[in-house]
Amino acid sequence: MLLSDICEIIMGQSPSSDSYNVKGQGLPFFQGNADFGKLYPSVRLWCNCPIKKAEAGDLLVSVRAPIGAVNLANQKCCIGRGLAALRPYRDKCDAMYLYYLIKAGKNKLNWLGTGSTFKAITRSSLLSFNVPDYCIAFQRKISGKLWSVDKLIHQRNEQLKLFDLLIQSRFLEMFGMSEGIDKHLEDVADICSGITKGRKVLGLELREVPYMAVSNVKMGYIDLSTVKTIMATENEIKQYRLFPNDILMTEGGDPDKVGRGAIIRNPPKDCIHQNHIFRVRLHKDVLLPEFFEEYLQGNSARRYFLKAAKQTTGIASINMKQLRALPVKIPPIKVQIQYSDFVHQVDKSKLAVQKSLDELEILKKSLMQQYFG
């Protein structure tokens, strides 16, 4: 069965530049770069020109990069050339089923893209897109199962956010107005940069080991979903090897994220770090990792990095000297231990929720594979 058998396909068109605005006048206007991170797109522009329109309940599908990204319209809106609206035939297609169908077929749609500068898919490509031949009752059964799983996934993610807010609140409660000893980071930590990719190593035996890159270091957590490897000498591995509870910090990035950092609890065996990452090994009799990780996300550290960083074309960076000079107000170690114990207790709860979330994600992938192949 073809996509055109279960829905009407409406291709977007571009209005004149003076027909859309940011003032909330007219209908919501979406282009291919609309916010596709949520079920419904976020309104950024409005249009008062009679161009192609989508109705509430239509699927908004990106026909330019990122091809196949999909949203559900929750109100009447205008669509630009980067989007197509899929309007389900009520007796043949369930809207949420169509939503999951397009999400599942994202890669297949991308293969249909043509163009040398950037890929785009045409109306004819959409018309000929093959879909499973399910009756509407079975479609609703499929979408109901997937929607139930999605709701649970959303709940687990919200729980994790609440746990993070709980930790932030506890930090502010304990240290927001507290007294402490003013130190520079270099006074209470050993700091080093990492291994340089592409360096020349002649005549030395190399071994493949995992390494942490900028993409692994987020604000407040380490992302180990993708860990790359690098060839290194035994001396380099010894020099840059990461230990449990080291702090990793980035030297550059978006201005509001420069200097972001997190604890790496259990690094992979013989894991090292690249030169765009600073490794901070705290003197734990003075400064605990749990306190310092949250401190890095606070206003004091953010203001320091924004002021100290070198900024060019929207990218900011700090050097070793600036990081060493980071001022840290250090509270009594007994109070830090109390906070650290609290964080560990919350982390146990987060771990249980994360395990449930991982199981739900696996279930969803299994259902998507079962129904859409």
* pLDDT tens digits along 306-337: 888 888 777 888 999 999 999 999 999 999 99
- Mean pLDDT estimate for the chain: 89
Residue 26: give the domain boundaries. Answer: 3-133
81 and 175 both lie in a single domain: no
205 and 187 both lie in a single domain: yes
282 and 353 both lie in a single domain: no
Indicate if the pLDDT at residue 50 is higher than 70. Answer: no
318 and 258 both lie in a single domain: yes
| pLDDT (0 to 100) of residue 75 | 86
Indicate if the pLDDT at residue 225 is higher than 60. Answer: yes
Instruction: Please give the tally of structural domains in the chain.
Output: 3
Mean per-residue pLDDT for 218-227? 92
Q: What is the CATH number of the domain that holds 373?
A: 1.10.287
Indicate if the pLDDT at residue 299 is higher than 70. Answer: yes
184 and 172 both lie in a single domain: no
319 and 238 both lie in a single domain: yes
Q: How confident is the model at residue 45 (pLDDT cuts 50, 70, 90)?
A: confident
Indicate if the pLDDT at residue 350 is higher than 60. Answer: yes
Q: How confident is the model at residue 47 (pLDDT cuts 50, 70, 90)?
A: confident
Cβ-proximal residues to 43 (8 Å cutoff; 6+ apart), any chain: 28, 30
197 and 171 both lie in a single domain: no
Give the HSE-up count for residue 260: Cα atoms under 13 Å, Cβ half-sphere: 19
> Which of 29-38, 50-59, 156-165 bottoms out in mean pLDDT, i.e. has the lowest?
29-38
**For residues 323 and 44, which has the higher predicted lDDT (pLDDT)?**
323
162 and 245 both lie in a single domain: no
**For residues 125 and 254, which has the higher predicted lDDT (pLDDT)?**
125
* pLDDT tens digits along 134-172: 999 999 999 999 999 999 999 999 999 999 999 999 999
| pLDDT (0 to 100) of residue 51 | 67
212 and 322 both lie in a single domain: yes
**For residues 33 and 126, which has the higher predicted lDDT (pLDDT)?**
126
Backbone angles phi, psi at 334, to 5 degrees: -65, -40
| pLDDT (0 to 100) of residue 67 | 83
* pLDDT tens digits along 57-104: 899 998 887 788 888 888 888 888 888 999 999 999 999 999 999 888
Q: How confident is the model at residue 34 (pLDDT cuts 50, 70, 90)?
A: low
Mean per-residue pLDDT for 33-53? 73
Q: What is the CATH number of the domain that holds 39?
A: 3.90.220.20
Mean per-residue pLDDT for 108-125? 80
362 and 279 both lie in a single domain: no
**Which two three-digit tokens encode residue 192?**
């080093």
* pLDDT tens digits along 238-269: 999 999 999 999 988 777 778 889 999 999 99
Q: How confident is the model at residue 114 (pLDDT cuts 50, 70, 90)?
A: confident
| pLDDT (0 to 100) of residue 200 | 86
- The span from the CA of 25 to the CA of 18, in Å, is 12
**For residues 181 and 31, which has the higher predicted lDDT (pLDDT)?**
181
105 and 168 both lie in a single domain: no
| pLDDT (0 to 100) of residue 35 | 59
Q: How confident is the model at residue 184 (pLDDT cuts 50, 70, 90)?
A: very high
**For residues 7 and 203, which has the higher predicted lDDT (pLDDT)?**
7
167 and 196 both lie in a single domain: no
Q: How confident is the model at residue 348 (pLDDT cuts 50, 70, 90)?
A: very high
pTM for this structure? 0.80
